[in-house]
Structure formats: C-alpha cells, structure tokens
Amino acid sequence: HQNERFNSNSLALKSDKVSDIIVDEADTLMTGNFLEETKAVLRNDARLIATSATITKALQKSLQSLYPD
C-alpha cells in the first residue's frame, strides 16, 4: 500500500509522501460509521493530528487502539 494513490475528485497524492495527517472533527470521523473509512487513509508512520471540540470516551478508545504510543 505504500505507493497507493488516494483520489478525491481531482486530488491525488502518493501515500508514501505523507508525513502528517490532520483529522478535524475527530469525534465524528474516528468513531462510529466513519471509522473504517478514516482508518483506510491513516498510516502508522505518519504523525496524526486529531482535533475535536469534544473528546469522548469512544474517541479516546479509537485513538489509543490506532496509536498506542
């Protein structure tokens, strides 16, 4: 998957060039119905910056399971 390309409309990027991933509204995107889609673009070797107005227990659990360090 390292050279996999992600396409969204006209946006394409090489995943091996990504060093930071920013997830806004993480309480929504990293729990429930959006979790699997969000996990599809996350990389273990990329720094994750997750922002949310609300840090729920479900979000904390998702973050800890994806990024235990």
Q: What is the pLDDT of residue 29?
A: 93
Q: What is the pLDDT of residue 9?
A: 52
Q: Using CA atoms in the order 46, 49, 50, 52, what is the torsion angle rounded to 10 degrees?
A: -170
Query: What's the rounded Cα separation, in Å, for the pair 43 and 39?
Result: 8
pLDDT at 1 over 50: no
Q: What is the DSSP string of the chain?
A: -TT-EEEETTEEEEGGG--EEEETTHHHHTSGGGHHHHHTT--TTSEEEE--S---HHHHHHHHHH---
Cβ–Cβ under 8 Å, residues 4 and 29: no
* 3-62 pLDDT per residue, tens: 455 555 556 667 777 889 999 999 999 998 889 888 888 877 888 999 999 999 999 999
Q: What is the pLDDT of residue 24?
A: 94
